[in-house]
């Protein structure tokens, strides 16, 4: 079974004066206790997010991977590399049946790197003239890693014998929406465009598995599905609440010969698929990647959530950019400037105006998600094509305008 070997950080750490709290965390013998100032509000009652977003006592049994990632991310935070301090941003769980999560990050999109490509094409070639991740500041790189066949004892054993020229990297997201928000860039130096291939998707699945923690999810946004950079990347962060999509009811559609089962979400504002099971993580990964590639080739924007440490994967097609382009998006939500990327579709909404945050409610978030998602008819048609593709490998024609 392949494991990852982490390479040394690309750049030596600049000398910084770490705050005392942060230094205490470096002491392996002290209990990990992240101080998270964010308030979590559930059913009108506040409770400290140190027991929800952060880490504490019983939940502190972090995998070596996540432990290392948290420490490195805290180090980057102490060095002041982020555009905002996410631990000071308010987050609340909304009352209701689904418990949507809302985070207020005022003015986030002004500081974000701008989207630099058309929203109407899922497959676009890599453009050397546009921003790419090889040029991020060295201190934004948390670590590089590559696959090895060695056993996991060497997982953090420093540089491996041979360093693959195209190692993958984990970078901080300088504009985080959650604790430990990072970007995973498979084979960073290869400058692949934002599109799923089997090998890269498997790397994302391995990362989810290595984290061994259901609150650390890995996500993907296609072009046209609110990815903002056309250089292959996944995202991940830690949020210690179940996402509404993870709690949604599902209905089994089929089980493939390799044991991977495909279900659909029922009674959730966004229609989508759930993939689970199979004899191995590789089998599951392979099926999801194939469906993503099928959607890409048919110019269908989509978003992916790798959940439960890689044991289940949500694939959510969407059409919000298309609705915006055709002038069919409602003004109320356009004014809110929410981009329905994977986190939003999964039920964690990042809001940019205090007013929207204060007024956020389950009914209005549901209405927004319904707008972003495919209609029932569109989803049924897509479902038929996806199932045909997987079972008879004879894809039907997916005309986006039909």
Ligand X SMILES: *[C@@H]1O[C@H](CO)[C@@H](O)[C@H](O)[C@H]1NC(C)=O
Residues lying near ligand X in the complex (CB under 6 A): 27, 29-30, 61, 128, 132, 134-135, 191
Q: How many CB atoms lie within 10 A of CB 152?
A: 16
Cβ-based nearer residue to ligand X, 129 or 327? 129
* Distance in angstroms (rounded) separating the CA atoms of residues 251 and 258: 19
Helix axes 64-78, 198-211, angle to 10 degrees: 90
- Judge contact between 10 and 144, C-beta under 8 A: yes
Minimum Å gap between C-beta 29 and ligand X is 4
Cβ-based nearer residue to ligand X, 16 or 266? 16
* Distance in angstroms (rounded) separating the CA atoms of residues 373 and 323: 10
Minimum Å gap between C-beta 17 and ligand X is 16
Edge-first strand order for the sheet with 3-7 is: 3-7, 141-148, 168-172, 179-185, 234-238, 216-221, 302-307, 312-317, 273-277, 260-266, 249-255
Minimum Å gap between C-beta 359 and ligand X is 40
Minimum Å gap between C-beta 127 and ligand X is 7
Cα–Cα–Cα angle for 368, 351, 94, rounded to 5 degrees: 70
What single string gives the DSSP state of each residue in 150-186? S-GGGTTSSS-SS--TT-EEEEE-SS-SSEEEEEEET
* Distance in angstroms (rounded) separating the CA atoms of residues 148 and 383: 37
* Distance in angstroms (rounded) separating the CA atoms of residues 372 and 353: 20
Q: Is the Cα torsion angle 326, 331, 334, 335 positive or negative in sign? A: positive
Region of 51 please: left (phi>0), alpha (psi -120 to 50) or beta: alpha
Cβ-based nearer residue to ligand X, 66 or 341? 66
Q: Please pick, among 33, 83, 84, 233, the residue that the annotation labels catalytic.
A: 233
- Quick check: is 83 catalytic? no
Minimum Å gap between C-beta 89 and ligand X is 29
Cα–Cα–Cα angle for 36, 368, 222, rounded to 5 degrees: 75
Cβ-based nearer residue to ligand X, 41 or 123? 123
- Judge contact between 105 and 208, C-beta under 8 A: no
* Distance in angstroms (rounded) separating the CA atoms of residues 396 and 388: 7
Q: Which residue is nearest to ligand X, using beta carbons? A: 128
Minimum Å gap between C-beta 323 and ligand X is 32
Q: How many CB atoms lie within 10 A of CB 14?
A: 8
Pair of tokens at residue 206: 């391995």
Minimum Å gap between C-beta 397 and ligand X is 34
Q: Which residues contact 28 (CB under 8 A, 6 or more apart)?
A: none
Q: Are strands 249-255 and 260-266 parallel, antiparallel or unpaired?
A: antiparallel
Task: Tell me the catalytic residues.
Answer: 233
């Amino acid at each position: 079974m392949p494991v990852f070997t982490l390479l040394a950080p690309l750049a030596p750490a600049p000398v910084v004066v770490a705050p005392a709290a942060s230094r205490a965390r470096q002491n392996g013998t002290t209990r990990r206790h992240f101080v998270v100032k964010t308030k979590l509000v559930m059913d009108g009652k506040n409770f400290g997010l140190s027991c929800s977003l952060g880490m504490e006592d019983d939940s502190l049994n972090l995998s070596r991977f996540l432990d290392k990632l948290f420490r490195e991310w805290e180090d980057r935070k102490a060095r002041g590399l982020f555009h905002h301090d996410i631990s000071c941003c308010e987050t609340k769980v909304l009352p209701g049946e689904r418990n949507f999560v809302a985070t207020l990050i005022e003015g986030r999109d002004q500081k974000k790197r701008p989207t630099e490509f058309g929203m109407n094409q899922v497959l676009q070639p890599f453009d050397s003239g546009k921003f790419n991740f090889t040029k991020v500041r060295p201190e934004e790189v948390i670590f590089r890693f590559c696959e090895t066949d060695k056993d996991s004892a060497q997982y953090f054993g420093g540089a491996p014998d041979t360093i693959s020229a195209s190692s993958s990297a984990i970078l901080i997201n300088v504009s985080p929406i959650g604790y430990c928000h990072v970007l995973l860039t498979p084979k960073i130096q290869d400058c692949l465009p934002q599109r799923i291939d089997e090998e890269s998707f498997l790397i994302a699945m391995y990362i989810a598995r290595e984290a061994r923690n259901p609150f650390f999810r890995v996500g993907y946004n296609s072009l046209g599905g609110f990815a903002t950079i056309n250089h292959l990347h996944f995202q991940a962060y830690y949020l210690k609440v179940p996402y509404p999509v993870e709690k949604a009811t599902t209905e089994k559609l089929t089980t493939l010969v390799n044991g991977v089962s495909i279900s659909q979400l029922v009674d959730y504002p966004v229609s989508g698929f759930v993939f689970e099971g199979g004899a191995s993580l590789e089998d599951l990964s392979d099926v999801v990647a194939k469906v993503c590639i099928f959607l890409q080739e048919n110019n269908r924007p989509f978003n992916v959530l790798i959940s439960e440490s890689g044991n289940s994967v949500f694939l959510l097609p969407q059409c919000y950019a298309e609705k915006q382009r055709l002038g069919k998006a409602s003004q109320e939500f356009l004014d809110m400037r929410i981009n329905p990327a994977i986190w939003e579709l999964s039920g964690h909404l990042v809001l940019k105006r205090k007013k929207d945050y204060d007024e956020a409610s389950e009914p209005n978030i549901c209405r927004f998600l319904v707008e972003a998602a495919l209609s029932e008819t569109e989803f049924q048609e897509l479902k038929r094509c996806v199932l045909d593709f997987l079972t008879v490998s004879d894809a039907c024609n997916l005309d986006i305008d039909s």
